[in-house]
């Protein structure tokens, strides 16, 4: 099994990591969406709308599991979904996505790996 680059899994914008024909992927979330679309197409379910019922990042218990990485993932996932650009296979579809937050929101603001943003943007 190949290792997955942390930046790719955290949805941190970077260069293309995966190329599939004419489709290119800069983050794992969008690549996994298109993987599901391909599987549905093969089962004659190409018109099925995908809803991501739960997405999140672990905060303990494994490699790269931390509150700061969870913060990065959640922030980048929100940006990805809010961009409303869909995926290479379904650019017209915005994916309804729900977050699982298994950490104390107050802890994430102590992270120094992401500058300039807070998850609890209450104004």
CB 34 within 8 A of CB 23: yes
Contact of 29 with 80, CB cutoff 8 Å = yes
Residues 6+ apart with CB under 8 A from 41: none
Q: What is the pLDDT of residue 52?
A: 95
pLDDT digits (tens, 9 = 90+) for 11-52: 997 899 999 999 999 999 999 999 999 999 999 998 999 999
**51: which 2 tokens?**
């809803």
Strands (E), 56-116: 96-99
* Helix 28-42 × helix 67-82 angle, to 10°: 60
Q: pLDDT by residue (tens digit) across 64-121?
A: 998 889 989 999 999 999 999 999 999 998 899 998 876 566 666 667 654 444 444 3
How far is the C-alpha of 73 from the C-alpha of 12, rounded, in Å?
8
Contact of 76 with 11, CB cutoff 8 Å = yes
């Amino acid at each position: 099994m190949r290792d997955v680059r942390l930046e790719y899994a955290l949805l941190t914008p970077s260069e293309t990591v995966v190329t599939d024909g004419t489709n290119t992927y800069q983050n794992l979330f969008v690549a996994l969406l298109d993987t599901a679309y391909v599987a549905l197409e093969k089962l004659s379910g190409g018109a099925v709308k995908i809803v991501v019922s739960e997405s999140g990042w672990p905060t303990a218990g494994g490699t790269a599991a931390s509150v700061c990485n969870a913060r990065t993932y959640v922030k980048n996932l929100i940006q990805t979904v809010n961009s409303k650009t869909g995926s290479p296979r379904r650019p017209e579809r915005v994916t309804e996505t729900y977050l699982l937050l298994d950490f104390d929101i107050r802890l994430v603001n102590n992270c120094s790996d992401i500058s300039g943003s807070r998850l609890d943007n209450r104004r």
